Amino acid sequence: MQYVADMKAAQTAGAAIDIDRVSHVYAGPEGGVQALSDVSMKVGAGRFIVIVGPSGCGKTSLLMMMAGLRDHTEGRIHVHGAPIPKPDPERVGVIFQEASLFPWLTTFDNIEFPLSLRGMSREERRRRSEPMLSLVGLTGFGERYPHELSGGMKQRVSIARGLVQDPPVLLMDEPFAALDEQTRMTMGHELLRIWSTTNKTVVFITHSLTEAVYLADEVYVMSPRPGRMIDHIMVDLPRPRTYEMMATDTFGRLRDRIWQQIRKSH
Amino acid sequence: MRRPDPKIVRWGILIALLVAWELVPMTGLLPELFLPRLSKTLTVLWIDLDKYWAALLVTLYEVVLAMVIACGLGIVAGATIGGIAVLRDLLLPVFSSLYAVPIVILYPIFTAWFGIGSQSKVMFAGIYGFFPVMLSTAAGIRTIDPQFLLAARSMGATVTQQITKVIIPASLPTVFGGLRLGGALAIIGVIVAEMLTASAGIGYLVTLNRTILDSPRVFAGILCILVLSVAYDIIARRLERRMVVWQSAGRRQQQASPRPIAQGAPAPAAA
Amino acid sequence: MKRWQIILVRMAILALVLGAWELAPRMGFVNPMLLPPLSEVLAMLKTQIARPVVQEAIMITALEVIVAFIIAVPIGAAAGVAIAEFPYAGAIFKPMLFYVFSIPKSIFLPMFILIFGIGFQQKVAYAAFTTAFVVLMSATAAVESVKSDYILVARSFGATPLQILRRVYVPSMMPVLLETLRISMIFNFTGVMIAEMYASRTGIGHLISNWGENFQMPQLFAGVIMLAVVAIAFNETVRFLEARCSTWRT
């Protein structure tokens, strides 16, 4: 099957993200708490990976580790062949559930924020942020403030900000969770468009099984704490994805499989 | 019949009060000793304008200095104590307990140490404003969304950059609130001090005229102070609102316990 | 930091401050005329409390505080509730209240003196006047803090206004009420002090003011400590009660 061949190709090319037997124990009020247990993942370059799992399973922690924002007690995480002990926005862009746009900055300033940290000149920054703005479909909103934007628009700005330094990897932690369902669906579609244009490697976390199947090339299912990978599902739906695919049998079967796995693991 | 716009009613009440101020003493309902006529008060103010103006300058000078102390120390202390968890747990409860003590009882100490001139007023009003500003800032610092720092870190911001580019802009609303509060309290503190023991200033004038039972001049002084404090409040609020247009966004919801007096809204005026 | 560690550090800080108060004047770092050593102040406190003049002053001040409070609370509360309950009144008066708060109410003291002369009535009237505003603000906030959801639920089950008052408003507002009373008392106390220090022949505030004028520093500090202790003690007691009442709140 085509996707298996793609997968093998990705593996031989060297994984973009290589997570090898990562575990994490942190100090809790009553002694050590195992957050992650022996998690392994190999993500091929340019793939769209989705991680689903119940609340508290550690998927956010795992993402934070991939971003260099958090430590792990055991195992190895490599992004593009090198470890990531601290944040590296040129390698990994992070998009959070709360857009976390700075309310005192305009849209342009928000997108350019990572660039301003590097001391880039104003003209250079604008040169890079303008295409980002149009990529996420917000041309003309550059001078607006976050409080003037809707939830969906704020997330688009957040995505633009994550992309502005052109990192090969994009990590997204339930970015659409705070949006209403209709906006969610639109945003998912938009995200796929942006992804296909830019060819990034995306790791996307969500609670929504529908969203997972709709967006992903591969879905990883995590168990409740301590988080382990209990299933790795290949989504063999053709691209580009359409809304109509959601009504197909294949879609339903894939979603059902994820749900069964999650139910079993409780 | 539709009810009139509240704003109009407010102005109406204000005008009615001013009219009453003129008419009531005139008709003898209240003796002129208690409430001199508005026209008389204004006349006397006009006659002694230079005296009142000089006094006002002294008062303003003291207020500005006191404000620098109250806001300067208050905001810095509040940000530090509020921002550092250890200090917060350690000191904040102590300070809010101390808030229960009427600061005014310390004023005689200040006059004994610094004399009856401006210095004692400045010190007193400075301390008077310091506590509420500090408490308010400490509370405000905690409303900054911690996600901001996470986002900044994820974009590779150094610690310095996190402070200058995230924490400081995010704390502007709190800082401006503190400035407004500090100024209002400085005015109150200075006026109280001037009324108690002083040799100059508007408060001193008011007291002086009271002892000689010169009601019109007393009320002229009261009027000056009223205008001063209301004007300050209006200007400060307008400035605050303009500076922080985005204030409502990006702040964590204040938790369930309402603290209407000690923080947030109006300056707690004990005097 | 653990609870006992916090208490320990606070005790240490307190000891440091008190120690400094004792030693600095004794060792000449500070002029002992201006800042008498702590031990001297405490000894003076003991002496003063025994004097009938001082005891009388304490009684008078306490009476003023209580009477002013009793007058101010119902008036302020009624007005505050009215403003909260009638949105139209609220729309009119609320913006005015903000300005009222930044006005130094001590400027009205001369007015009260002109009307009542110097004495008990004047001080009580003034203190009640200042306190009423604080009570008003707090009462408004307290009533508004009762979530409209709760009221809606009660009404949907057919509760009468009186029942809603007793079974939704009161329990919901109880912790806030206590806090209101506590804060109002702080302002009340302050008001009485200001009145006594300004123009009065009786009361602790007057004594303190006098001692200050005559540079009787040990007495002055003794008076200040006494008042501070009373104020803090009262405050903490009510705080404790507040905490007990609000176990159901987050």
Q: Which of C91, C99, C231 sits opposite B233 (nearest CB)?
A: C99
SS3 A257: helix
For residue C159, is pLDDT > 80? no
Can you say whether residue B213 is alpha, beta or left, with left for phi > 0 and alpha for psi between -120 and 50 degrees? left
List chain A domain ranges.
2-91+172-265, 101-166
Q: Are B73 and C198 in contact (CB under 8 A)?
A: no
Residue B254: what pLDDT? Answer: 35
Average pLDDT over residues B1-17: 83
Whole-number pLDDT of residue B220? 92
Tell me the nearest-neighbour CA distance from B163 into chain A, angstroms. 12
How far B162 CA sits from the closest chain C CA (Å)? 26
Question: A95-104, A237-246, B257-266, C18-27: which has the minimum mean pLDDT?
Answer: B257-266
Please report which confidence band the pLDDT of residue A1 belongs to, taking 50, 70 and 90 as the band edges.
very low
What is the bridge-based pairing of β-strands A82-83 and A31-43? Answer: unpaired
Burial A83-117 (b: 16+ CB within 10 A, else e): ebeebbbebbbbbbbbbbbbbbbbbbbbbbbbbbb
Contact list, A69 vs chain B (CB under 8 Å)? 150, 153-154
Query: Residue C249: its pLDDT value, please?
Result: 55
Give yes or no for residue A243 having a pLDDT over 90: no
How many C-beta neighbours within 10 Å does residue A22 have? 23
pLDDT of residue B259 exceeding 70? no
The mean predicted confidence, pLDDT, of chain A is 87
**Of A94-108, A231-245, B20-34, B46-60, which range is least confident?**
B20-34
- In this prediction, the answer to ipTM > 0.90 reads no
Instruction: Check residue A85 and report its DSSP letter.
Output: S
**pLDDT at residue A20 in the model:** 86
Write the residue in A69, A116, A146 that is nearest to B153 by C-beta.
Answer: A69
User: pLDDT category, C246, cuts 50, 70, 90?
Assistant: low
Q: Is B215 on the interface with C (CB under 8 A)?
A: yes
Averaged pLDDT for residues B214-230 = 91
CA–CA gap between residue B250 and residue A99 (Å, rounded): 10
**pLDDT score, position B188:** 93
CATH architecture assignment, domain B51-243: Orthogonal Bundle (1.10)
Handedness of CA A260, A26, C8, B102 (dihedral sign): negative
Neighbours of B233 (CB within 10 A): 22
Question: Is C19 buried (19+), middle (13-18) or exposed (0-12) by CB count in 10 A?
Answer: exposed
Look at residue A264 and tell me whether its pLDDT is greater than 90. Answer: no
User: Is the confidence at residue A99, as pLDDT, over 90?
Assistant: no
Tokens 């002055």 correspond to: C220
Distance from CA of C237 to the nearest CA of B (A): 11
pLDDT attached to residue B270: 46
Q: Of all helices (H) and strands (E), which one includes residue A26? A: strand A17-28
Q: What are the residues whose beta carbons fall under 8 Å from the beta carbon of A46, sequence distance 6 or more?
A: A10, A16, A199, A200, A201
| C-alpha span between C19 and C42 (Å, rounded) | 13
Cβ atoms of residues A50 and A206 within 8 Å: yes
- HEC string of chain B equals CCCCCHHHHHHHHHHHHHHHHHHHHHHCCCCCCCCCCHHHHHHHHHHCHHHHHHHHHHHHHHHHHHHHHHHHHHHHHHHHHHHCHHHHHHHHHHHHHHCCCCHHHHHHHHHHHHCCCHHHHHHHHHHHHHHHHHHHHHHHHCCECHHHHHHHHHCCCCHHHHHHHHHHHHCHHHHHHHHHHHHHHHHHHHHHHHHHCCCCCHHHHHHHHHHCCCHHHHHHHHHHHHHHHHHHHHHHHHHHHHHCCCCCCCECCCCCCCCCCCCCCCCCCCC
B158-201 pLDDT per residue, tens: 888 888 888 888 888 888 888 999 999 999 999 999 999 888 99
Q: How many CB atoms lie within 10 A of CB A122?
A: 10
Instruction: Tell which wins on pLDDT, A56 or B261.
Output: A56
C80, amino acid identity: G
Contacts of C104 in chain B (CB under 8 A): 187-188, 191-192, 225, 229, 269, 271
Side by side, which strands form the sheet with A74-79?
A31-43, A17-28, A74-79, A82-83
Confidence of residue A132 (pLDDT cuts 50, 70, 90): very high
Could you tell me which residues of chain A have a Cβ less than 8 Å from any Cβ in chain B?
Answer: 67, 69, 87-89, 94, 96, 98, 100-105, 113-114, 116-118, 145-147, 161
| Mean per-residue pLDDT, A258-263 | 89
**Domains of chain C listed by start with CATH number:** 38-245 (1.10.3720.10)
Average pLDDT over residues B214-224: 91
pLDDT at residue C236 is higher than 70:
yes
Class in CATH terms, A2-91+172-265: alpha beta
The alpha-carbon gap from B267 to the nearest alpha carbon of chain A, in Å, equals 26
Two structure tokens written together for C44:
């003076």
Q: Which two tokens stand for residue B158?
A: 């150094």
> Distance (Å, rounded) from C-alpha C5 to C-alpha A214?
54
Under an 8 A CB cutoff, do C232 and B99 touch? no
Residue with the two structure tokens 């104590």: B81
pLDDT at B252: 39
| B88 contacts B82 by C-beta, under 8 angstroms | yes
The pLDDT, as a whole number, for residue A232 is 92
pLDDT higher at C77 or C85: C77
DSSP state of A105: S
Q: Average pLDDT in the C8-32 region?
A: 89
Query: Chain B contacts of C107, Cβ < 8 Å?
Result: 191, 195, 203, 206, 221-222, 225-226
Residue B134 has pLDDT above 80, yes or no: yes
Which 3 state secondary structure label does DSSP give A38? strand
How far lies B107's CA from each of B129, C35, C186, in Å? 14, 14, 17
DSSP states along C20-52? HHHHHHHTTSS-TTTS--HHHHHHHHHHHHHSH
pLDDT band of residue C127 (cuts 50, 70, 90) is very high
Residue-level pLDDT at B204? 93
Q: What is the pLDDT of residue A157?
A: 94
